[in-house]
Amino acid sequence: MTYVWDIPGWVSGFRFDDTDPLAYDATNQKFIDQAGFGAFRSGNATLRAGTPLFAGVGPYSRRGLKLDNSNQWDLPNSMAWEGTLLIAFSPVCPSAPTLAHNIFVGNKTALVSSNARAFVQKASGVINLRLTGAAASAAVTSAAITNASIAVAAMSVNQQDRILRVTLDGVTVTASSALADDNTGQKLAWSGGAVPTPTDLSAMFLRMGNNSGTIGDTTANATDYIYMLEAHQFTGDVLTTDLSKVADAIAERKAYYGA
Protein backbone atom coordinates (compact mmCIF):
# COMPACT_ATOMS: atom_id res chain seq x y z
CA MET A 1 0.00 0.00 0.00
CA THR A 2 1.39 3.39 -1.03
CA TYR A 3 0.08 6.56 0.57
CA VAL A 4 0.40 10.12 -0.67
CA TRP A 5 3.18 10.83 1.81
CA ASP A 6 5.18 7.87 0.47
CA ILE A 7 5.70 9.67 -2.84
CA PRO A 8 9.13 11.40 -2.81
CA GLY A 9 9.03 15.19 -2.59
CA TRP A 10 5.77 15.53 -0.63
CA VAL A 11 6.04 19.05 0.79
CA SER A 12 2.47 20.22 1.28
CA GLY A 13 -0.81 18.46 2.03
CA PHE A 14 -4.31 19.64 2.91
CA ARG A 15 -7.46 17.68 3.73
CA PHE A 16 -10.59 19.80 3.52
CA ASP A 17 -12.43 18.07 6.34
CA ASP A 18 -14.12 20.48 8.75
CA THR A 19 -14.78 17.71 11.31
CA ASP A 20 -11.08 16.91 11.87
CA PRO A 21 -9.35 19.42 14.17
CA LEU A 22 -5.96 18.21 12.92
CA ALA A 23 -6.93 19.24 9.39
CA TYR A 24 -9.10 22.32 9.98
CA ASP A 25 -8.96 25.13 12.51
CA ALA A 26 -12.64 26.11 12.64
CA THR A 27 -12.06 29.02 15.01
CA ASN A 28 -9.63 30.76 12.68
CA GLN A 29 -11.09 29.29 9.46
CA LYS A 30 -7.86 27.83 8.12
CA PHE A 31 -6.67 24.45 6.92
CA ILE A 32 -3.53 23.05 8.51
CA ASP A 33 -0.70 21.81 6.32
CA GLN A 34 -0.10 18.11 6.95
CA ALA A 35 3.37 18.06 5.38
CA GLY A 36 6.55 20.05 5.17
CA PHE A 37 5.87 23.77 5.09
CA GLY A 38 5.86 23.79 8.88
CA ALA A 39 5.96 27.30 10.27
CA PHE A 40 5.78 28.99 6.86
CA ARG A 41 2.88 31.42 7.35
CA SER A 42 1.86 28.92 10.03
CA GLY A 43 1.69 26.35 7.22
CA ASN A 44 -1.96 27.12 6.62
CA ALA A 45 -4.44 27.52 3.80
CA THR A 46 -6.19 30.74 4.77
CA LEU A 47 -9.61 32.10 3.90
CA ARG A 48 -9.42 35.22 1.76
CA ALA A 49 -13.12 35.81 1.07
CA GLY A 50 -16.54 34.48 1.96
CA THR A 51 -17.78 31.81 4.36
CA PRO A 52 -16.60 28.17 4.18
CA LEU A 53 -19.19 25.65 2.98
CA PHE A 54 -18.90 21.93 3.72
CA ALA A 55 -20.85 18.78 2.90
CA GLY A 56 -20.56 15.01 2.89
CA VAL A 57 -19.43 13.71 -0.50
CA GLY A 58 -19.61 10.27 -2.07
CA PRO A 59 -20.87 6.92 -0.76
CA TYR A 60 -18.98 7.27 2.52
CA SER A 61 -20.01 10.91 2.99
CA ARG A 62 -16.42 12.11 3.32
CA ARG A 63 -16.33 15.80 4.16
CA GLY A 64 -15.48 18.23 1.38
CA LEU A 65 -15.15 21.98 0.89
CA LYS A 66 -17.75 23.34 -1.53
CA LEU A 67 -16.13 25.75 -3.98
CA ASP A 68 -18.94 27.70 -5.63
CA ASN A 69 -16.90 30.90 -6.10
CA SER A 70 -18.27 32.42 -2.89
CA ASN A 71 -15.46 31.23 -0.59
CA GLN A 72 -11.86 31.60 -1.73
CA TRP A 73 -8.51 30.60 -0.23
CA ASP A 74 -4.77 31.18 -0.35
CA LEU A 75 -2.58 28.06 -0.27
CA PRO A 76 1.22 28.11 0.12
CA ASN A 77 2.64 27.35 -3.32
CA SER A 78 5.49 24.84 -3.34
CA MET A 79 5.43 24.43 -7.12
CA ALA A 80 5.98 28.02 -8.19
CA TRP A 81 8.78 26.83 -10.52
CA GLU A 82 7.93 23.18 -11.17
CA GLY A 83 6.29 20.35 -9.32
CA THR A 84 3.25 18.11 -9.06
CA LEU A 85 -0.21 18.67 -7.65
CA LEU A 86 -2.39 15.71 -6.56
CA ILE A 87 -6.01 16.43 -5.73
CA ALA A 88 -9.18 14.59 -4.76
CA PHE A 89 -12.33 16.41 -5.85
CA SER A 90 -15.87 16.07 -7.14
CA PRO A 91 -17.08 18.34 -9.98
CA VAL A 92 -20.79 19.10 -10.01
CA CYS A 93 -21.43 20.62 -13.42
CA PRO A 94 -24.91 19.73 -14.70
CA SER A 95 -25.24 22.85 -16.83
CA ALA A 96 -22.86 25.48 -18.22
CA PRO A 97 -21.70 23.79 -21.45
CA THR A 98 -18.46 25.75 -21.77
CA LEU A 99 -17.98 27.11 -18.27
CA ALA A 100 -14.47 26.84 -16.82
CA HIS A 101 -14.26 26.46 -13.04
CA ASN A 102 -10.83 27.54 -11.83
CA ILE A 103 -9.73 25.33 -8.93
CA PHE A 104 -6.21 26.73 -8.54
CA VAL A 105 -4.58 29.81 -10.03
CA GLY A 106 -0.83 30.08 -9.56
CA ASN A 107 -0.72 33.64 -8.28
CA LYS A 108 -3.35 35.11 -6.00
CA THR A 109 -3.44 38.50 -7.75
CA ALA A 110 -2.67 37.57 -11.37
CA LEU A 111 -5.25 37.50 -14.13
CA VAL A 112 -6.33 34.03 -15.18
CA SER A 113 -5.42 34.70 -18.80
CA SER A 114 -1.77 35.31 -17.91
CA ASN A 115 -1.18 32.68 -15.28
CA ALA A 116 -0.84 28.96 -14.80
CA ARG A 117 -3.97 27.31 -13.48
CA ALA A 118 -5.86 24.05 -12.98
CA PHE A 119 -9.53 24.09 -13.85
CA VAL A 120 -12.55 21.94 -14.64
CA GLN A 121 -14.29 22.57 -17.93
CA LYS A 122 -17.44 21.13 -19.42
CA ALA A 123 -17.72 21.11 -23.20
CA SER A 124 -20.08 19.10 -25.42
CA GLY A 125 -21.44 17.44 -22.29
CA VAL A 126 -18.01 16.17 -21.17
CA ILE A 127 -16.20 17.30 -18.01
CA ASN A 128 -12.41 17.46 -18.14
CA LEU A 129 -9.65 18.59 -15.80
CA ARG A 130 -7.31 21.00 -17.57
CA LEU A 131 -3.87 22.33 -16.69
CA THR A 132 -2.26 25.30 -18.36
CA GLY A 133 1.02 27.10 -18.00
CA ALA A 134 1.42 30.84 -17.86
CA ALA A 135 1.59 30.73 -21.66
CA ALA A 136 -1.74 29.85 -23.25
CA SER A 137 0.06 27.54 -25.69
CA ALA A 138 1.03 25.23 -22.80
CA ALA A 139 -2.04 23.17 -21.95
CA VAL A 140 -3.11 19.59 -21.29
CA THR A 141 -6.56 18.02 -20.83
CA SER A 142 -7.51 14.92 -18.86
CA ALA A 143 -9.79 12.11 -19.89
CA ALA A 144 -13.50 12.59 -19.25
CA ILE A 145 -14.77 12.82 -15.66
CA THR A 146 -18.30 11.74 -14.75
CA ASN A 147 -20.46 14.52 -13.34
CA ALA A 148 -20.71 14.46 -9.52
CA SER A 149 -18.26 11.57 -9.27
CA ILE A 150 -15.15 11.63 -7.09
CA ALA A 151 -11.91 11.93 -9.04
CA VAL A 152 -8.32 11.73 -7.85
CA ALA A 153 -5.87 13.32 -10.26
CA ALA A 154 -2.24 14.36 -10.47
CA MET A 155 -0.86 17.20 -12.58
CA SER A 156 2.76 18.19 -13.14
CA VAL A 157 4.88 21.02 -14.48
CA ASN A 158 8.30 19.95 -15.80
CA GLN A 159 10.81 22.67 -16.61
CA GLN A 160 13.40 20.27 -18.03
CA ASP A 161 11.34 18.97 -20.93
CA ARG A 162 8.90 21.92 -20.75
CA ILE A 163 5.87 19.61 -20.71
CA LEU A 164 2.67 19.60 -18.63
CA ARG A 165 1.16 16.25 -17.64
CA VAL A 166 -2.11 15.05 -16.12
CA THR A 167 -3.42 11.65 -15.04
CA LEU A 168 -6.62 10.36 -13.45
CA ASP A 169 -5.20 6.98 -12.46
CA GLY A 170 -1.39 7.11 -12.49
CA VAL A 171 -1.38 4.72 -15.45
CA THR A 172 -2.54 6.74 -18.44
CA VAL A 173 -0.70 10.06 -18.54
CA THR A 174 -1.72 12.76 -21.00
CA ALA A 175 1.03 15.20 -21.90
CA SER A 176 1.11 18.57 -23.62
CA SER A 177 3.45 19.33 -26.46
CA ALA A 178 6.80 20.76 -25.39
CA LEU A 179 6.70 24.52 -24.99
CA ALA A 180 9.40 26.38 -26.88
CA ASP A 181 12.30 27.28 -24.59
CA ASP A 182 12.39 31.01 -23.84
CA ASN A 183 15.39 30.67 -21.49
CA THR A 184 13.36 31.85 -18.50
CA GLY A 185 10.91 29.06 -17.71
CA GLN A 186 8.28 31.61 -16.77
CA LYS A 187 5.79 30.43 -19.40
CA LEU A 188 5.28 27.25 -17.39
CA ALA A 189 5.93 28.52 -13.87
CA TRP A 190 2.96 28.55 -11.51
CA SER A 191 4.05 31.91 -10.17
CA GLY A 192 3.34 33.38 -13.58
CA GLY A 193 6.78 34.94 -13.59
CA ALA A 194 5.94 37.10 -10.59
CA VAL A 195 8.65 37.74 -8.00
CA PRO A 196 7.71 37.97 -4.30
CA THR A 197 8.64 41.18 -2.51
CA PRO A 198 8.50 42.06 1.21
CA THR A 199 5.19 43.85 0.63
CA ASP A 200 3.69 41.48 -1.96
CA LEU A 201 3.98 37.73 -1.46
CA SER A 202 1.34 36.91 -4.08
CA ALA A 203 3.63 34.67 -6.12
CA MET A 204 4.12 32.38 -3.12
CA PHE A 205 0.47 31.32 -2.98
CA LEU A 206 -2.10 29.45 -5.03
CA ARG A 207 -5.53 31.03 -5.34
CA MET A 208 -8.17 28.35 -4.69
CA GLY A 209 -11.91 28.59 -5.27
CA ASN A 210 -11.99 31.70 -7.45
CA ASN A 211 -14.00 29.67 -9.94
CA SER A 212 -14.88 32.56 -12.21
CA GLY A 213 -11.24 33.65 -12.42
CA THR A 214 -12.27 37.28 -11.95
CA ILE A 215 -10.35 38.83 -9.08
CA GLY A 216 -12.73 40.17 -6.45
CA ASP A 217 -15.74 38.24 -7.79
CA THR A 218 -17.35 36.17 -5.02
CA THR A 219 -20.78 35.64 -6.59
CA ALA A 220 -21.94 32.10 -5.83
CA ASN A 221 -22.81 29.71 -8.63
CA ALA A 222 -25.86 27.81 -7.38
CA THR A 223 -25.78 24.99 -9.95
CA ASP A 224 -22.15 24.38 -10.93
CA TYR A 225 -19.39 23.98 -8.35
CA ILE A 226 -16.61 21.72 -7.07
CA TYR A 227 -16.19 19.78 -3.84
CA MET A 228 -12.51 19.80 -2.88
CA LEU A 229 -11.44 16.90 -0.68
CA GLU A 230 -7.63 16.98 -0.64
CA ALA A 231 -4.70 18.81 -2.25
CA HIS A 232 -1.05 17.74 -2.10
CA GLN A 233 2.07 19.26 -3.64
CA PHE A 234 5.37 17.62 -4.55
CA THR A 235 8.71 18.99 -5.65
CA GLY A 236 9.64 17.88 -9.14
CA ASP A 237 7.63 16.00 -11.74
CA VAL A 238 6.75 12.76 -9.95
CA LEU A 239 4.68 11.69 -12.97
CA THR A 240 8.00 11.02 -14.70
CA THR A 241 10.10 9.90 -11.73
CA ASP A 242 7.68 7.95 -9.50
CA LEU A 243 4.61 7.15 -11.57
CA SER A 244 3.99 3.73 -10.03
CA LYS A 245 3.84 5.25 -6.55
CA VAL A 246 1.48 7.93 -7.84
CA ALA A 247 -0.76 5.19 -9.28
CA ASP A 248 -0.79 3.32 -5.96
CA ALA A 249 -1.53 6.49 -3.99
CA ILE A 250 -4.37 7.45 -6.34
CA ALA A 251 -5.85 3.96 -5.99
CA GLU A 252 -5.61 4.19 -2.17
CA ARG A 253 -7.36 7.56 -2.10
CA LYS A 254 -10.07 6.37 -4.50
CA ALA A 255 -10.75 3.41 -2.21
CA TYR A 256 -10.95 5.73 0.79
CA TYR A 257 -13.53 7.94 -0.92
CA GLY A 258 -15.43 5.09 -2.56
CA ALA A 259 -14.63 6.41 -6.03
The answer to whether residue 2 sits within a structural domain is no
Q: Which pLDDT score, from 0 to 100, does residue 97 have?
A: 57
Of the listed ranges 45-54, 181-190, 210-219, the least confidently predicted one is 181-190
- Average pLDDT estimate for 33-59: 82
Of the listed ranges 54-63, 129-138, 183-192, the least confidently predicted one is 183-192
The answer to whether residue 134 sits within a structural domain is yes
Q: Which pLDDT score, from 0 to 100, does residue 88 have?
A: 97
Quickly state the pLDDT bin for 4 (edges 50, 70, 90).
Answer: very high
> What are the residues whose beta carbons fall under 8 Å from the beta carbon of 56, sequence distance 6 or more?
62, 63, 64
Separation CA 175–CA 103 (nearest Å): 20
The answer to whether residue 71 sits within a structural domain is yes
> What are the residues whose beta carbons fall under 8 Å from the beta carbon of 242, sequence distance 6 or more?
7, 8
Structural domain including 75 reads 10-257
Separation CA 210–CA 67 (nearest Å): 8
pLDDT at 243 over 90: yes
145 closest CA partner among 165, 115, 159, 166: 166
- Average pLDDT estimate for 22-29: 94
pLDDT at 116 over 80: no
Of the listed ranges 47-51, 99-103, 118-122, 209-213, the least confidently predicted one is 99-103
- Average pLDDT estimate for 65-77: 92
DSSP the chain: ---GGGSTTEEEEEE--TT-TTTEETTTTEEEP-SS-TTGGGGEEEEEES---EEEETTTTEEEEEESSSSEEEEE-S-SSSEEEEEEEEEE-SS-TT-EEEEEESSTTS-GGGS-EEEEEEETTEEEEEEE-SSTT-EEE---B-TT--EEEEEEEETTTTEEEEESSSSSEEEPPPPPP-SS-TTT-TTTT---BTTB-GGGEEEES-TT--TT-----SS-EEEEEEEEEEES-HHHHSHHHHHHHHHHHHHHHT-
The answer to whether residue 1 sits within a structural domain is no
State the pairing for strand pair 151-158/163-167: antiparallel
Note the Cα 192 to chain centre separation in Å: 16
Q: Which pLDDT score, from 0 to 100, does residue 44 have?
A: 85
The answer to whether residue 217 sits within a structural domain is yes
Tell me how many domains the chain contains.
Answer: 1
The answer to whether residue 226 sits within a structural domain is yes
Q: How far, in Å, are 57, 222, 259 from residue 146 at the CA level?
A: 14, 19, 11
Most confident range (mean pLDDT) of 2-16, 82-96, 205-219 is 2-16
Contact indicator for 65, 75 with CB cutoff of 8 Å: no
Q: Which pLDDT score, from 0 to 100, does residue 39 have?
A: 47
Of the listed ranges 52-56, 139-143, 179-183, 241-245, the least confidently predicted one is 179-183
Q: Which pLDDT score, from 0 to 100, does residue 251 have?
A: 98
- The CATH number that applies at residue 107 is 2.60.120.200
Q: Which pLDDT score, from 0 to 100, does residue 94 have?
A: 83
pTM of the model: 0.91
Quickly state the pLDDT bin for 108 (edges 50, 70, 90).
Answer: low
Q: Kindly tell me the sign of the dihedral angle through the C-alpha atoms of 35, 90, 226, 18.
A: negative
The answer to whether residue 5 sits within a structural domain is no
pLDDT at 258 over 60: yes
The answer to whether residue 178 sits within a structural domain is yes
